[in-house]
Amino acid sequence: MSDKAKQRYLLQGNEAIVQGALAAGCRFFAGYPITPASEIAEQLSITLPAVDGTFIQMEDEIASMGAIIGASLSGVKAMTATSGPGFSLMQENLGFACVAEVPCVVVNVMRGGPSTGLPTCPAQGDVQMARWGTHGDHPIVVLSVSTVMDSFTITVKAFNIAEKYRVPVILLSDEVVAHTRECVELPDAEEIKVVDRITPSVPPEWYKPYEGDARGVPPMAAFGDGYRHHVTGLIHDEMGYPTQRPSEVKAFHERLTKKITRGFPDIQMTRGYYLDDAEVFVVAYGAVARSALRAVEDARENGVKAGLLQLITLFPFPRRALTPLLDQCRAVLVPEMNLGQISREVQRVNNGECVVAKHNRIDGKFITPRELFDRLMKL
Amino acid sequence: MPIPAQALRHEYLRHNKKFPHVWCPGCGNGIVMGALLRAVSRLEIDKDEIVLASGIGCSGRMPTYLDFNTLHTTHGRALTFATGVKLANPSMNVIAIMGDGDSTAIGGNHFIHAARRNLNLTAIIINNSIYGMTGGQYSPTTPFGSKSTTSVYGHIEHAFSIAELAVTAGASFVARATVYHADLIDRLIEQAINKRGFAVVEVISNCHIQYGRRNKLGGAVDMLTSFKEQAVSVSRAEKMSHEELEGKTTIGVLADREIPISTEEYKKVREQARAQKEKV
Domain ranges for chain B: 5-279
Please state, in angstroms and rounded to a whole number, the distance separating the CA atoms of residues A339 and A326: 21
State whether A231 and B71 contact (CB < 8 Å).
yes
Please state, in angstroms and rounded to a whole number, the distance separating the CA atoms of residues B280 and B270: 16
Q: Which is nearest to A269 in space by CA: A131, A347, A161, A168? A: A161
* pLDDT band of B177, cuts 50, 70, 90: very high
For residue A1, what pLDDT is reported? Answer: 46
In this structure, the number of other CB atoms found within 10 A of the CB of residue B268 comes to: 11
pTM exceeding the 0.95 threshold for the entire prediction: yes
For residue B4, what pLDDT is reported? Answer: 87
Per-residue pLDDT tens digits for B69-107: 999 999 999 999 999 999 999 999 999 999 999 999 999
Torsions phi, psi for B137 (to 5 deg): -85, 160
For residue B1, what pLDDT is reported? Answer: 66
Fold of A271-378: Rossmann fold (3.40.50)
- CB within 8 A of A12, min separation 6: which ones? A39, A148, A178, A179, A180, A181, A182
SS3 A199: coil
For residue A3, what pLDDT is reported? Answer: 54
Residue B81: list chain A partners with CB under 8 A. Answer: 66-67, 69-70, 73
Helix and strand totals (H; E) in chain A:
13, 16
Domain ranges for chain A: 8-191, 204-265, 271-378
Closest CB to A230 among B70, B82, B277: B70
CA B120 vs CA A20, B79, B86, B110, B262: distances in Å: 31, 12, 8, 15, 8
For residue A4, what pLDDT is reported? Answer: 61
Burial of A343 (0-12, 13-18, 19+ CB in 10 A): buried
Per-residue pLDDT tens digits for B189-223: 999 999 999 999 999 999 999 999 999 999 999 99
* Residue pLDDT tens, chain A, 379 long: 455 667 899 999 999 999 999 999 999 999 999 999 999 999 999 999 999 999 999 999 999 999 999 999 999 999 999 999 999 999 999 999 999 999 999 999 999 999 999 999 999 999 999 999 999 999 999 999 999 999 999 999 999 999 999 999 999 999 999 999 999 999 999 999 999 999 999 999 999 999 999 999 999 999 999 999 999 999 999 999 999 999 999 999 999 999 999 999 999 999 999 999 999 999 999 999 999 999 999 999 999 999 999 999 999 999 999 999 999 999 999 999 999 999 999 999 998 889 999 999 999 999 999 999 999 999 9
Closest CB to B72 among A228, A234, A239: A234
Please state, in angstroms and rounded to a whole number, the distance separating the CA atoms of residues A20 and A342: 26
Please state, in angstroms and rounded to a whole number, the distance separating the CA atoms of residues A220 and A237: 15
Average pLDDT in chain B = 96
The DSSP symbol for A225 reads S
Spelled out in words, what is the top-level CATH class assigned to the domain A8-191? alpha beta
E strand or H helix at A248: helix A246-262
Residues of B contacting chain A (CB within 8 angstroms): 14, 16-18, 47-49, 51, 53, 63-64, 67-74, 77, 80-89, 91-92, 109-110, 113, 266, 269-270, 272-274, 276-277
State whether B69 and A223 contact (CB < 8 Å).
yes
Homologous superfamily (CATH) of B5-279 is Thiamin diphosphate (ThDP)-binding fold, Pyr/PP domains (3.40.50.970)
* pLDDT band of B279, cuts 50, 70, 90: confident
CA B76 vs CA B31, B106, B119, B203: distances in Å: 22, 5, 18, 17
State whether B81 and A50 contact (CB < 8 Å).
no
Per-residue pLDDT tens digits for B244-254: 999 999 999 99
Distance of CA A94 to the CA centre of its chain: 13
